[in-house]
A and B are shown apart, each in its own frame.
Chain A
Amino acid sequence: MTKIFNRIPWLGLFSLMAGLLAWELTARLSGLPRFILPAPGDVWRSFIKALTTGTLLYHTAITLTEIVLGMLAGVTFATVVGYSLAKSRTLEKVLAPYLVASQAIPIVAIAPLLVIWLGDGILSKVIICALIVFFPVLVNTIVGVRAVPTALYDLMNSVRATRWQILFKLELPASLPILLGGLRVGATLSVIGAIVGELVDAQEGLGYLLQLGDFQYDTSMVYVAVFVLIFLALGLYGIVTLLEKRFLKWQTVSSSR
Chain B
Amino acid sequence: MTIKPILTVKNISAVFPDDNGGLLALDDISFEVRPQEFICFLGPSGSGKTTLLRILAGLLPPTTGQVNFIRNQHPEIGMVFQQSNLMPWRSVMDNIKLPLELEGMGDAKARIKTREMIDLVGLNGFENSWPRELSGGMAQRVAIARALIHDPDLLLLDEPFASLDALTRERMWTELSRIWQARQKTVIMVTHSINESLFLADRVLVLTQRPGKIKLDVEVDLPRPRKDDIRYTPHFGKLARKLRETIE
* Chain A binding surface SS class: helix
Interface segment, one of B18-26, B79-87, B222-230: B79-87
Closest to A157 in B: B59
Closest-CB distance, A147 to chain B (whole angstroms): 12
- Alpha-carbon separation in the docked complex, A160 to B101 (Å): 12
Contact between B89 and A173, CB atoms less than 8 A apart: yes
Q: Is B116 an interface residue (CB 8 A)?
A: no
Q: Which residues of A contact B98 (CB under 8 A)?
A: 159, 169
Interface segment, one of A5-13, A102-110, A148-156: A148-156
B interface bracket (residues with beta carbon within 8 Å of A): 20 to 34
Q: Which residues of B contact A160 (CB under 8 A)?
A: 58, 74, 77, 102
Contact residues of A with B, CB < 8 Å? Answer: 149, 151-152, 154-162, 165, 169-170, 173-174, 176, 248, 250-251, 254, 257
Contact between A155 and B81, CB atoms less than 8 A apart: yes
Contact between B79 and A155, CB atoms less than 8 A apart: yes
Q: Which residues of B contact A157 (CB under 8 A)?
A: 57-59
Closest to B54 in A: A154
Q: Is B236 an interface residue (CB 8 A)?
A: no
* Chain B binding surface SS class: loop
- Alpha-carbon separation in the docked complex, A81 to B58 (Å): 30
Q: Which residues of B contact A151 (CB under 8 A)?
A: 81, 83, 85
- Alpha-carbon separation in the docked complex, A113 to B91 (Å): 51
Q: Which of B59, B78, B87, B150 contacts A154 (CB 8 A)?
A: B59
Q: Which 7 A-B pairs have the closest CB atoms?
A: A158-B79, A250-B89, A173-B89, A159-B99, A158-B57, A250-B130, A151-B85
Closest to B77 in A: A158
Q: Which residues of A contact B57 (CB under 8 A)?
A: 154, 157-158
| 11 new A-B contacts at CB < 8 Å, known A154-B79, A158-B57 | A154-B59, A157-B57, A159-B150, A160-B74, A161-B102, A169-B98, A173-B87, A250-B91, A250-B132, A254-B133, A257-B133
Closest-CB distance, A149 to chain B (whole angstroms): 8
Q: Which of B59, B83, B87, B90 contacts A158 (CB 8 A)?
A: B59
Q: Is B237 an interface residue (CB 8 A)?
A: no
Q: Is B88 an interface residue (CB 8 A)?
A: yes
Closest to B156 in A: A158
- Alpha-carbon separation in the docked complex, A123 to B77 (Å): 52
Closest to B82 in A: A151
Within 8 A of A (CB), among B81-114: 81, 83, 85, 87-91, 98-99, 101-102
Closest to A165 in B: B102
